[in-house]
């Protein structure tokens, strides 16, 4: 019987730990404040942003909300980021992505102070991760590491295969697994013989963005399978990149969708907000 890794339980534990740390800071007169910026009113982004603000309220972090019109100019958004960078009361800045096409996302990410970049998207933090320096780490891959560690799954020396090479998940995921002494292979849409590679993985991370793509033929007997994908099928039900029912009998541990990796992202954002207090001091 495979272990079904319970992301809801683990994320709740992490949020409780953050709540305690926030309370300890409050007792020392330190308030943590996250600025959340949303441009336009994309319904999916609104759901994410609201969930982030709710999590802040739960753990005791103050959130400042900036809801900008779809027509805001790049220059105006850069000015807001600059103001937040220079506001000592603001510890973290999060600009919800995607941004409208007339705004250069990379320019905005680079404008956020690396010391307030709680998403871990700034090139400084990406670089810091790759050379083992302290910094903010992208929330979703950081959440995967917590799922593995808190489920007692050893990473050191394991054959880890990551499917996907996005800047937000695949690349930082591979760096984090390497930092945990995994032997890491990164695969992507141009990889030849994907099945040949994935079927040798002790730990398989699926972040390729194709619903139920990973069937039992891709998976080694007894492997640990982590599903980063999230899709809505024709019946409006959520599913991941992994065909859970097909794979679950073959593996030793697996994350479900929903209730696996997805719920970890916001918990790790809360950890980054707590960490921001110390990281701000390096500015």
Give me the active site residues, please: 52, 96, 119
Biggest CA-to-CA distance, the chain: 57
Q: Which stretch binds ligand GUN (CB under 6 A): 14-22, 89-97, 177-185, 196-204?
A: 89-97
Task: Determine contact, residues 92/118, Cβ cutoff 8 Å.
Answer: yes
Q: How far is the CB of 80 from ligand GUN (least distance, A)?
A: 14
* Residue reference for tokens 């739960």: 58
- Cβ atoms within 10 Å of 68's Cβ, excluding its own: 17
Give residues 250-269 in contact with ligand GUN (rule: CB under 6 A): 265
Distances (CA, A) of 45 to 9, 96, 245: 24, 7, 30
Give the DSSP H/E element, type plus range, for residue 65.
Answer: strand 62-68
- Residue selected from 34, 112, 137, 139 as contacting ligand GUN according to rule CB under 6 A: 139
Q: Choose among 141, 233, 238, 241: nearest CA to 198.
A: 241
- Rounded to 5 degrees, φ, ψ at 67 are -105, 105
Q: How far is the CB of 249 from ligand GUN (least distance, A)?
A: 32
Q: Which stretch binds ligand GUN (CB under 6 A): 76-84, 94-102, 156-164, 208-216?
A: 94-102
Which is closer to ligand GUN, CB of 60 or CB of 262? 262
Which is closer to ligand GUN, CB of 120 or CB of 256? 120
Q: Determine the Cα–Cα distance for residues 152 and 148; give it in Å rounded to an integer.
A: 6
Q: Determine the Cα–Cα distance for residues 61 and 74; give it in Å rounded to an integer.
A: 28
- Residue selected from 119, 227, 241, 243 as contacting ligand GUN according to rule CB under 6 A: 119
Which is closer to ligand GUN, CB of 198 or CB of 272? 272
Q: How many residues bind ligand GUN (CB under 6 A)?
A: 7
Residue nearest to ligand GUN (CB): 97
Q: Which stretch binds ligand GUN (CB under 6 A): 54-62, 77-85, 88-96, 184-192?
A: 88-96
- Residue selected from 12, 64, 68, 97 as contacting ligand GUN according to rule CB under 6 A: 97
Does 230 sit near ligand GUN (CB under 6 A)?
Answer: no
- Residue selected from 72, 80, 94, 201 as contacting ligand GUN according to rule CB under 6 A: 94
DSSP assignment letter at 195 = H
- Cβ atoms within 10 Å of 3's Cβ, excluding its own: 14
Length of the chain: 283
Q: Determine the Cα–Cα distance for residues 151 and 244; give it in Å rounded to an integer.
A: 18
Which is closer to ligand GUN, CB of 32 or CB of 139? 139
Which is closer to ligand GUN, CB of 97 or CB of 153? 97
Q: How far is the CB of 140 from ligand GUN (least distance, A)?
A: 7
Q: Determine the Cα–Cα distance for residues 205 and 228; give it in Å rounded to an integer.
A: 7
Interacting residues toward ligand GUN by CB under 6 A: 94-97, 119, 139, 265
């Amino acid at each position: 019987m495979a272990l079904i890794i319970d992301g809801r339980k683990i994320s709740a534990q992490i949020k409780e730990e953050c709540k305690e740390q926030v309370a300890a800071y409050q007792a020392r007169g330190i308030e943590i404040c996250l600025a959340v910026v949303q441009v336009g009113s994309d319904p999916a982004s609104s759901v994410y942003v609201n969930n982030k603000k709710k999590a802040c309220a739960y753990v005791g972090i103050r959130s400042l909300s900036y809801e900008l019109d779809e027509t805001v100019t790049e220059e105006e958004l850069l000015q807001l980021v600059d103001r937040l960078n220079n506001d000592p009361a603001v510890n973290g800045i999060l600009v919800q992505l995607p941004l409208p096409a007339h705004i250069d996302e990379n320019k905005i990410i680079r404008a956020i102070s690396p010391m307030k970049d709680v998403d871990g998207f700034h090139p400084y933090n990406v670089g810091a991760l790759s050379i083992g320096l302290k910094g903010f780490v992208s929330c979703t891959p950081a959440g995967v590491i917590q799922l593995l560690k808190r489920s007692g799954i050893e990473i050191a020396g394991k054959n880890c295969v990551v499917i996907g090479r996005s800047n937000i998940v695949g690349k930082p995921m591979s760096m984090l697994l390497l930092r945990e002494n995994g032997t890491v292979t990164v695969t992507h849409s141009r990889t030849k013989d994907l099945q040949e590679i994935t079927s040798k993985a002790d730990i398989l991370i699926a972040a390729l963005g194709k619903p139920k793509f990973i069937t039992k033929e891709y998976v080694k007997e007894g492997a640990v399978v982590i599903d980063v994908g999230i899709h809505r099928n024709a019946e409006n039900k959520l599913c991941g990149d992994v065909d859970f029912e097909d794979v679950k009998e073959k593996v030793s541990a697996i994350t479900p969708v929903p209730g696996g990796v997805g719920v970890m992202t916001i918990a790790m954002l809360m950890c980054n907000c707590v960490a921001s207090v110390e990281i701000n001091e390096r500015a």
